[in-house]
Amino acid sequence: MSGKVVLVTGATNGIGKVAARELAKMGATTVIVGRNPDKTQTTIAEIKQASANSQVHGLIADLSVMDSVRSLAEEFKRNFDRLDVLLNNAGAVFSERQETADSLERTFALNHLNYFLLTNLLLDVLKRSAPARIVNVSSDAHRMVRRMNFEDLNSEKSWGIMGWKAYGQSKLANILFTRELARQLEGSGVTANAVHPGGVSTGFGKNNGGLMALMMKAAGPLFMKTPEQGAETLIYLASAPEVQGVSGGYFADRHPVEPSPAAKDDAAAQRLWEISAKWVGLAARV
């Protein structure tokens, strides 16, 4: 990965942090995105020490807020002239429904619209850097919903137990977005794939406190992967020569797997793209 630039969101803990560290070890100029400035600086120092790579940088953004996503893309372009790998990893589940300053439900905004907007804003530099790769972290939680509920993308009517239905829909959106993105990028030299990292014992879900935090804490040591195990497929898709040119896939444990029937609905993928573009104020096609 020497000479390449990678951008990793959600990189101050968990699988994002491990992926950033391992890609830095491979020699990549590694740019991490965090929300907390102090935590981001600490993570940069840790990755530099672990990788013996001085080219580790940080950018600050609240990726659930679309103006912050736009500012992130602009700041990246001011400081870097190429992008070889975009790893969209930032995400969360919320036990109670929240709205952002954009009047968007926070799960959908952070887990899907962030991916959609940031990717589109960086496509020009990705194309200039081709061959380049986009890796979108999804989840088998997409199987919890039977289809995209286009009548309630903002989860005003149907939230689910502790927000898991909204989370599942956002993860289905990740795969549909990846599928349509790959279709639109055919012939550009830029690939896009989605990944299921598996259940990983990190801080995921613990931001909520209460019952959800207790459940995640208890489940971690018993049933979940370590962050190192969970990050393996992210790193593989970001760097492995054997997946150069592979696009539109859904991967788990370093292998392509079949997502749910709803995640292979091309009409739904195109409809989601059109709606997402409208909600974030972008042109409908790359």
**If you average pLDDT over residues 110-121, what whole number do you get?**
98
Whether the CB-CB separation of 193 and 243 falls below 8 Å is answered with yes
User: Checking DSSP bridges between strand 190-196 and strand 56-60, what pairing results, if any?
Assistant: unpaired
Asked whether the predicted pLDDT for residue 97 surpasses 80, the reply is yes
Question: Tens digit of pLDDT for each residue in 148-162?
Answer: 999 989 887 775 676
At position 114, the amino acid (one-letter code) is N
- In this prediction, residues 172-178 reach a mean pLDDT of 98
Tokens for 92? 């969360």
Active site residue 115: no
pTM of the model: 0.90
Q: Looking at residue 127, what is its pLDDT?
A: 99
For 158-249, where are the alpha helices, taking DSSP H only? Answer: 164-184, 210-223, 227-239
Res. 199 pLDDT band, cuts 50 70 90: low
Dihedral of the CA atoms 252, 255, 261, 262 (nearest 10)? 50
pLDDT attached to residue 202: 53
Catalytic residue among 115, 167, 236, 250: 167
Q: Are 216 and 202 in contact (CB under 8 A)?
A: no
What pairing do the DSSP bridges indicate for beta strands 250-252 and 255-256? antiparallel
Nearest Cα residue to 6 out of 93, 124, 135 = 135
What are 187's two structure tokens? Answer: 């012939």
pLDDT of 217 > 60? The answer is: no
Task: For residues 200 and 239, give the distance between their C-alpha atoms in angstroms, rounded to a whole number.
Answer: 21
Instruction: Give dist(CA 164, CA 32) in Å, integer.
Output: 27
What is the reported pLDDT for 164? Answer: 79
Segment 220-241, tens digit of pLDDT? 454 567 999 999 999 999 999 9
Residue type, 96: E
Q: How far is CA 111 from the centre of its chain?
A: 7
User: What is the CATH superfamily name and number for domain 5-280?
Assistant: NAD(P)-binding Rossmann-like Domain (3.40.50.720)
